[in-house]
Amino acid sequence: MLALTQLEDNPSFGANPVPFVIMMLAGFLIGTAGHLVRSRSLVVLGIGLIALAAFLLPLAANLTQR
**Number of other CB atoms surrounding residue 49 within 10 Å:** 19
Count of domains forming the chain? 1
Is the CB of residue 50 less than 8 Å from the CB of residue 22?
no
Residue 32 domain-assigned (yes or no): yes
Average pLDDT taken over every residue of the chain: 81
pTM over 0.85, yes/no = no
Please check whether residue 8 lies inside any domain of the structure.
no
Name the amino acid, one letter, at 38.
R
Residue 1 lies in a domain: no
In a domain, 2, yes or no: no
Q: Is residue 3 part of a domain?
A: no
Cα–Cα distance, 27 to 14 (Å, whole number) = 22
Which structural domain, as residue segments, surrounds residue 27? 17-64
Query: Which has the closest alpha carbon to 51: 33, 27, 16, 22?
Result: 27
Sites in the chain below the pLDDT cut of 50: 1
